[in-house]
Structure 1
Amino acid sequence: MADPSKKKCRQYSTEYLSYGFIPAPQNETKPMCLICMDVLSNYSMKPSKLKIPLEKKHIGKKDKTVEYFKKLGDDFQKRKTVCQLFDNKAGKPHNIGETVILPGVSAIISSVMKQNAIEITNSIPVSNSSVSRRIDEMVEDVKKQFIAHLEVKQFALQLDESTLRDNEAILLAYVRFNNEGPKEEMLFARSLTTDTKGETIFKEVATYFQENNIPLKNIIACATDGSPSMTGRYKGFIAYLKKSIPEVYCIHCVINRQHLVAKELCARLHDALSVVIKVVNHIKSNSLRDRLFREFCKQNGEEFERLVLHTEVRWLSKGNCLKRFIAFWDSIVSFLVDTQLGAKLLENKCDVFYLSDIFEKLNSLNKQLRGNDSDLISKPNIKKLVENHQPQGSH
């Protein structure tokens, strides 16, 4: 039986900088990526593990030299030093001006300028309400500038309707327009209090545009998912939008298309995925079995202790579930030894590993398609990946 207290702890080596990693500021036994600032586990501090982010997640940085990563590390240290200089020793938000800023200003005025600090500090408006009001004014000013651009410029609209955990329906809208280069901003997030029909969604969008004096005709393109409420021929959002703007160009979101493709599995792969789901539910549905499995993983020196459930709503869910399942493979097989479920799992081993690889590729592709300044024109490597993963006959 392995002793968890004697788990091997790897030490950082300067050679790891060539992979874009430095010791994490919070815990120097863990590596931190200089590109995305993700902190990995100590187990990942192997050259073979550290290569994975550059090969899969940050493909564009794969051929960068050590000098490039050294410069990133120097820039990070400078930012860290600046943050330490302005660190709040009181442990309070900086909008609490009376307890954080004024005592320091008062001490400087009294000791350096030899003046009456009380009269001067009393005339400085740094109360909670003053700081909050100024933040609100800055936010309102930024919003006005943003709306002013949309009033006179053409732009593309992207809509996404989703349901939160408490059954609250929310509508998210993003716009992309040209302002000395491509710009992408979030337009609004509104709750749908009743239904999520196409007419209701269109009314929410039209109401927002009317309230902010943005002409609907400025929309030249619109991207949505493939749900009937969005793309329905007669009562979908797109149908109502085309009645107002006949020339608008509408497209099915590329990421959503990849997610739909991932749902369509052949019978053999579907059976293998069903076995994985049954194993996860078998372990996690029973509290005693779940605790025993966690202890078993500790004894085996596993990096994690819990399996991950998946949900159809979350588009990265299946890939994450399978990735964690494969990481636990040896422990799961040993835990379910001499059981019917364990035997089925071994029968489908090749298919389960194949599914894990496929969903990992799909998740990597979808992550590259997300984020600011991501498009198929400026990133030909993403366009090639989309074409390779695109099913025949899809539009």
Structure 2
Amino acid sequence: MTREEPRSRPYTKKKCRQYTMEYLNYGFIPSPKNAQLPMCLICEKMFSNEAMKPSKLLEHWRKTFNFQSFKFHARPTLTTVFSSAAQQVESDGMKASYNISLLIAKTGKPHTIDEELILPAVSEVLHTVLHKPATDIIKKIPLSNTTVQRRIDEMPTDVEDTLYSYLRTVQFLLQQDESTLPGDEALLLAYVRFIKEEKINEKLLFAKPLETDTTERSIFLAVEELFKEKEIPLTNLLAVASDGAPAMVSCHLGFIAYLTEFRSERLSAGCTGGALRNSQTRSSCKALY
């Protein structure tokens, strides 16, 4: 009896795909090294025979094309390079214009000093010390007489808007003071004190003439009008202080009474001329006073 030999599996020939012109639809051409294998037109990657399925080629094309398309559109060009450089120079020139205008305002010099002295001095420094052509740089700094005046007028407005915007979001103290101008005209001064970046800041909120009288109601209406106009909540008021003068203290207490009607919590009061008499004010406003 002979032993049966194991049956051998039937031999199946492995199917090899051949490059066809159909692959051009997916962005593939015959590889220069092997014309039977496809090569991507974008990344120049050659694919093996197993990866020649149309679905795999199409997936590779979509991923590569999207990335390369983004990379292409985000590339720096001559236009963008020179445009960004010009914008930077123009922005720096505008900043210098505002800074110089602020210096002129602080020193109280006439606005014509920029064209008569400042620009020639800057030009001399650029030419003599830095050995750079001053003409192109000077042109980027607008400092005419009218420009300086406009800059000076714009800066206080921007400072006020920044203050009002900040007071809408924080609690603060309000200090009132009354002054008399020539001609017996009453002027109400209001200061705010608040904490910003862990530092105590004190700013002038407004200076308004009292057209009718100096009663507590007139003072309250002047403050309320500004708060409504600038959209500052009265509830942000933590405490109110006065200068301590007898006439002002009496008026100050009346102002507190009007103000309390608009608040659910009782408002702290105090005098800045001496020690704070109200214990609640001392405890709640310790950081600000």
Structure with the higher fraction of residues in strand conformation = 2
Structure with the higher fraction of residues in helix conformation = 1
The alignment's TM-score, normalised by the length of structure 2, stands at 0.50
Question: Rg larger in 1 or in 2?
Answer: 2
The alignment's TM-score, normalised by the length of structure 1, stands at 0.37
